[in-house]
Structure 1
């Protein structure tokens, strides 16, 4: 595994962690809360974004406007079955989700969830590092690299790992701040 490959894969891990963070509720409405909601659309699991226009007209409401009105009940059912924890308000043309203010206990739970997602991201990055180091050591063993080259590459890889773990830590700090802001 080359250093550029490892860096690319680490960046993908950071992006995945960020997507996970976006599914955690903060005190205000955000359309990305519904990113993981899938609707059983005529037997096929389909992402909600493919079936409806989703926006947040104000800080306490998410508005879901289906492209096809016949999917309204399917979307409503999918949201109620998901782990979003919001009740739907269906008026026949759109679905409104009212975002209640978070209690301090709920905020603490969301911070724990964000910490869990961050740790999963860090583990993924360390796993990438481990695979790359194994590859470097294999090259050294096969005499494709000298000891010095191997050590230099491993040091570069460690610097890269530290950089991407720091990015995840920064994202976590931002998310915690968002969650705890009343």
Structure 2
């Protein structure tokens, strides 16, 4: 059971980090990134369809996303979905492809985005700490039920703490990288 507790804690912390990475990828840092469009849903033949499933997204220039739909008839639907999304970008439709030009960020906007990155990092750390707390509670219960000794409990708690520390460092590292990307962008 105790190895299961550690493994479960590790898996849940990894999931928290992955969610954080996805959130970071969706933040516009002033450079073209196809992940910006991951959450865009297009109303396609009456069903919401992810944009990434119905088009090819390329980056021909550092500040341009080029969207080439697999079905040319969906071009207008894609354009409407992009306008309706909260990306703050205006699509340029030339009849065959859609171009999204990512504008240069102002200094003030860079600061706002950096704060947002910090907020997301704190949310991810809270999620990791919650996983840690659950694992520690599970270990205490195991010890109380007599399934593990106090020494085993302490050793396992140290392992959980190490996993937590590693996860927190990873989150900080990702946040620092994103802040650097934003300030240099």
TM-score normalised to structure 2 length: 0.94
Indicate whether 1:143 and 2:146 are aligned: yes
Indicate whether 1:31 and 2:34 are aligned: yes
Structure 1 counterpart of 2:8: 5
Quote the offset at 1:70 in angstroms.
1.4
Quote the offset at 1:27 in angstroms.
2.2
Measure, in 1, the Cα distance between the counterparts of 2:183 and 2:69.
32
Alignment partner of 1:175 out of 178, 181, 184: 178
Structure 1's unaligned 5+ residue stretches are none
Structure 2's unaligned 5+ residue stretches are none
Structure 2 counterpart of 1:121: 124
Quote the offset at 1:18 in angstroms.
0.9
Structure 2 counterpart of 1:41: 44
Alignment size in residue pairs: 182
Q: Residue 177 of structure 1 aligns to a residue in which SS?
A: helix
Quote the offset at 1:79 in angstroms.
1.0
Measure, in 1, the Cα distance between the counterparts of 2:140 and 2:43.
48
Structure 2 counterpart of 1:87: 90
Structure 2 counterpart of 1:76: 79
Measure, in 2, the Cα distance between the counterparts of 1:68 and 1:116.
39
Q: Residue 89 of structure 1 aligns to a residue in which SS?
A: strand
Measure, in 2, the Cα distance between the counterparts of 1:87 and 1:55.
17
Measure, in 2, the Cα distance between the counterparts of 1:35 and 1:113.
19
CA contact (8 A) 1:27 1:181 kept: no
Measure, in 2, the Cα distance between the counterparts of 1:156 and 1:177.
31
Measure, in 1, the Cα distance between the counterparts of 2:111 and 2:83.
23
When the two chains are superposed, the root-mean-square deviation of aligned CA atoms in Å is: 1.2
CA contact (8 A) 1:88 1:95 kept: yes
Quote the offset at 1:42 in angstroms.
2.4
Q: Residue 66 of structure 2 aligns to a residue in which SS?
A: strand
TM-score normalised to structure 1 length: 0.95
Q: Residue 100 of structure 1 aligns to a residue in which SS?
A: coil
Post-superposition CA distance 1:75-121 (Å, at most 9, x none): 11111111111001011111001111110111111111111221121
